[in-house]
Structure 1
Amino acid sequence: MQETLNKVEQVIENFINEHKIPGLSLHIVSDGESIFTFDYGYSNIELKKHMQQDTVSSIMSISKSFTAIAMLHLEENTDFNLETPIIEYLPYFSTKSGRYNKITSKHILSHTAGFPDNIWLVTLLDNGLYKFAKNLPEYQFIFKQCPNIEDTITEIKSREDITKYFSNIDLPYEPGEGWLYCTDAYVILADVLEKISGLTWEEYVTENIIKPLNMNNTYINPSKGSSQNMNEYYLYSKNDFIKIPTPNNQLGAPVGFIYSTANDMAKYLIAIMRSEQKIISQSSRSKMFSMIAQREPRLSYGLGWKIKNLRDSKVVEHAGGYPGVSSFATMIPAKTFGLVMLCNIGDAPLQILSDNIIDIFYP
């Protein structure tokens, strides 16, 4: 095993040397135990604070898996059904074109609802990002695509308002007949959950996932007072790291605004893979890991997770990305093997690093 871990460490160090990485935390688990941790660089370059396993970092779109588990938990504990059309729970839901009356929660979870992948509304509800992106040439396409976005954002006060915004959206394909990754639509799921449970999405996720797993350093849109060990976020420009705003999006939390640590996310992966975990049943977990949305040979999407076949094993994974944020989680449930990586710069190709590590353990 030590020889394997030495190879893993060398692969990580090569990756760091090749890419401009300010800080990285990595944690590998197997058979319900932690087997390897690795921390590199700084969570705060200015204060020279080192990245640690308990540094609180944005996990971005890995947050969608929490929303998926919450919806499966809701299905197990109420009359809610993932395959019931959304309009039966939210009568005000509609789209500009297409058979929106056929769209179910399962469609949204698997990104097969028919929505386009370029709505951008929820992303721009992050005020820090909005101000940051507005002045950068590489983000101008968003504002050209959404010329009245400032007025629209001003009118969005609730998750129900986001659901109603979809009345402006054309469906490029029939529900269930294609696949496009629509971040914004996960807020509709939170709207459904809130109407049925009587709790906010934040309360439901905290009470039914975060607390039962003792994820004591996991927060939803944390304030700086939540922990003294918070990451800062950077982009690399003109041979220097530039600090950028910390992501914060109150209404958009279900799509990507959970913050956690490498240690807490290791607990999360272990719990999801363990047969005796108590958050959702094994049948619900099997549903979550099903290859629902075929994207290309051996690659699909389940409920909140990307699913692929690799050398006769099912690999379950998800990336998170945002200006200043890269995250990645991978599981091979049959082997109870998992890894998580949290990084405080955007566009770090963590998928490559994950694949290389898996190749070492399972050549």
Structure 2
Amino acid sequence: MQNNGWIDSFEQFAQNWITKSQVPGVCMGLAKDGQIFYSNGFGFRDVERQLGVTIDTVFGIGSITKSFTCVAVMQLQEAGKLSVHDPVVKYLPEFRLKNLDVGQITIHHFMTNTSGIPPLPTFLASVMRSLDANEVEDLPLMQNQTDGTVPIDTYEDLMSVISTLDLELLGPPGTEFSYSNDCFALLGAIIERVSGKSYEAYVKEHIIDPIGMEHTSFFLEELNGYENITKLYIMRDRGDHKEVLSSPNWWDSPASRAAGFIKSTVRDMLKYTDMFCKGGLTGQGNRILTPESVQQMMTPYFPTDMAPGQFYGYGLVITTDYYGKTLVEHSGGIKGVTAQMCFFPETGLAGVALSNLELSPVVAVMVGALNSLENRPPESSHLVSKIDFLTEEAMDQYVGDYQSSEFGTLPVRLENGQLVLSFLGENYVMRPFAEDIFVVRAFGTDFSARFIRDGNNKIVRMAFAGRQFTIQDKKTSGGNEK
């Protein structure tokens, strides 16, 4: 399809990242109009047995599952069984928030992460049964959680727990973006009630099978003895070094499968991205969605706060100006999983990268491939700062501890004339980007941090990694209370 001079520089760049980050295995594939023109497996699906990674190795895809959930909702809308503008309570009458009216929250708000519901402390309870199988190994991954958690096994359990939480909405529905696994989990409940089938059976029957995704499932046992499945790996901090360990236990969450629990391969996922590029048609000519539904999924409804110029559609992230083109993507991460898919609807170019370690730099690898393909240095960024410099006095207003019940506390400090954010045990320099917006480079990728002010111009929250964190106490650079 194109000359292959880009491959060497890309593979060297990718291998450097993979080695530096100690990732056991990564598979990366690129396709144009559904035809795969590049694929490579870096490293191993099983380090101990030295089994390599291929385009048909099964990995987790994490939150890319959210796009499948939205495809299912759009299919049900096409069938006249629901409208995305229906209130959630029409299908889930048990969905309640303590002392708050939820009547205005629609399916559209759930699909775009704009319900106004802040991050919730439900994750540990939802994967509790998996942890029971492997507590010693997995619990260090679950910081900021408390003992005495009761497992969440069903959608009804999840709604019951949510109804007891003391919450304040971030704003009226449709006015604030905050990534919500819980809202996507409950879309699974809506699909189940409207279709009369389990969520997993519906997705298999109406999306996975008609697209011809042969090695894709929520359940590994459904793959009928297929052996090309990765082992999972976790990173442990040993103080003076980081160690990667095998951790065979796949997490599951029956009440949250709609938010992140599909397993798939690069080959299968490139069939899936091709369906979007072809306006809802598969390579075999099966219609999954109408072109109108695909367009609705790729509409940039609301800024994501994950990177400047990025918007959320329905289970898809849209960058409206990525070197002059529209880029549609989604990433995923959970224990033993980092995943990235992207496609350019105008040109039919698509890419998928999957790995077997959480928080691995697969987004950097993907961006490196896209850059190399277009003769840019692999580490290039499409972001151009509007502000290059802030005084220490100007930066001091952002200093403080920002908190969410999902991720705990994120401290922001002023150190050596730079603003520094601590996230998941690492410190990151915050580069000024635009008014109240900074860019943080983590895992080889640019993320944005946006500070949110109230009506009195006082900073009250920080949006980072798609979530909103509330300021707990304002600290000065000297650490004294203000």
After superposition, the Cα gap between the structure-2 partners of 1:199 and 1:129, relative to the gap in structure 1 and judged at 3 Å, is: same
1:8 equivalent in structure 2: 10
Contact 1:54 1:263 in 2 (8 A): yes
- Letter matched to residue 41 of structure 1: G
Distance (whole Å) between structure 2 residues aligned to residue 313 and residue 25 of structure 1: 25
Inter-partner Cα distance in structure 1 for 2:186 and 2:297 = 18
2: distance between equivalents of 1:200 and 1:17?
A: 41
> Which residue is 2:386 aligned to?
none
C-alpha spacing 1:136/1:193, structure 2 compared with 1 (3 Å): closer
Report the Cα distance in structure 2 between the residues aligned to 1:189 and 1:344, rounded to whole angstroms: 27
- Structure-to-structure mapping, 1:89-100, within 5 angstroms: 89-100=91-102
Q: Is the 8 A contact 2:280 2:294 kept in 1?
A: no
Equivalent pairs, count: 356
- Alignment-derived partner of residue 85 in structure 1: 87
Separation in structure 2 between the aligned mates of residue 164 and residue 32 of structure 1, nearest angstrom: 44
Q: CA deviation at 1:126?
A: 4.7
Aligned partners of 1:132, 1:8: CA distance in 2, in Å? 39
| AA in 2 matched with 1:306 | V
Is 1:141 aligned to residue 144 of structure 2? yes
Task: Report the CA distance between 1:157 and its aligned residue.
Answer: 4.0
Aligned mates of 2:7, 2:163 — CA distance in 1: 52
1:39 counterpart residue number: 41
2:118, 2:334 → 1: CA distance?
19
Offset of residue 136 of structure 1 = 4.8
CA drift of 1:133 comes to 7.3
Please state whether the residue corresponding to 1:38 is helix, strand or coil.
strand
Does 1:158 find its partner at 2:154?
A: yes
How far apart in 1 are the matches of 2:108 and 2:43? 40
1:272 to 2:281 alignment: no
Deviation at 1:254, TM superposition (A): 1.0
SS at match of 1:316: strand
Identity %: 26
Which of the residues 338, 359, 362 maps onto 1:326?
338
> How far apart are the structure 2 equivalents of 1:268 and 1:166?
33
- Aligned-partner Cα distance in 1 for 2:131–2:317: 26
1 or 2, which has the higher helix percentage? Answer: 1
Greater share of strand: 2
Q: Indicate yes or no: 2:318 matched with 1:307.
A: yes
Matched residues in 2 for 1:167 and 1:259: separation? 31
Distance 2:28 2:138 in 1: 33
1:340 alignment partner in structure 2 = 352
Instruction: Point out the more displaced range, 341-350 or 216-225.
Output: 216-225
1:221 aligns with one of 213, 219, 222: 219
> Counterparts of 1:172 and 1:133 in 2: how far apart (Å)?
36
> Please, which of 338, 348, 351 is the counterpart of residue 363 of structure 2?
351
Q: Which deviates further from its counterpart, 162-171 or 338-347?
A: 162-171
Deviation (angstroms), 1:100: 1.1
For each residue in 1:298-351, what CA deviation from the matched residue of structure 2 results, as whole angstroms up to 9, or x when unmatched? 111111011113122111111111122111111111111111111001111222
Which one of the candidate residues 286, 292, 297 is aligned to 1:288?
297
Q: Distance in 2 between matches of 1:185 and 1:68?
A: 12
TM-score, scaled to structure 1: 0.91
Alpha-carbon spacing, 1:332–1:77, altered in 2? closer, same or farther (3 Å) = same
2:372 maps to which of 351, 357, 360: 360
Secondary structure (helix, strand or coil) at the match of 2:44 reads: strand
Q: Which amino acid in 2 is paired with 1:30? A: K
In structure 1, the partner of 2:202 is: 204
Query: Match for 1:12: what amino acid?
Result: A
SS at match of 1:28: strand
- In structure 2, relative to structure 1, the CA distance for the partners of 1:251 and 1:92 (3 Å cut) is closer
Residue 37 of structure 1 aligns to a residue whose secondary structure is strand
The alpha-carbon deviation at position 172 of structure 1 amounts to 3.0
Q: List gaps (5 residues or longer) in structure 1.
A: none
Cα distance in 1 for partners of 2:121, 2:102 equals: 16
The answer for the alignment partner of 2:180 in structure 1 is 182
Kept after mapping to 2: 8 A contact 1:163/1:191: no
Taking a change above 3 Å as real, the CA distance of residues 134 and 120 of structure 1, as seen in their structure-2 partners, is: farther
Aligned-pair Cα RMSD in Å: 2.1
Residue 235 in structure 1 maps to residue 234 in structure 2: yes
Q: Secondary structure at the match of 2:37?
A: strand
SS of match in other structure, 2:145:
helix
Residue 135 of structure 1 and its aligned partner are, at CA, apart by 7.1
Deviation larger for 305-314 or 252-261: 305-314
**Structure 2 letter corresponding to 1:303:** Y
Rate the CA distance shift 1:23–1:123 in 2: closer, same or farther, 3 A: farther
CA gap of 1:122–1:338, structure 2 versus 1, over 3 A, is: farther
More contact order relative to length (CA 8 Å, sep ≥ 6):
1
Counterpart of 2:263 in structure 1 is 259
Q: Could you list the per-position Cα deviations for residues 175-229 of structure 1 after superposition, in whole angstroms to 9, with x for gaps in the alignment? A: 1110111112212111111111111111110111000011010011323855222
SS at structure 1 position matched to 2:273? helix
Task: Describe how 1:23-172 pairs up with structure 2 within 5 A.
Answer: 23-121=25-123, 124-129=126-131, 131-132=134-135, 136=139, 139-143=142-146, 148-149=148-149, 151=150, 153=151, 156-169=152-165, 170=167, 171-172=169-170
Give the superposition deviation at 1:62: 0.7
Distance in 2, matches of 1:311 and 1:47, equals: 42
Contact 1:221-1:253 at 8 Å conserved across structures:
no
Q: Which amino acid aligns with 1:349?
A: P
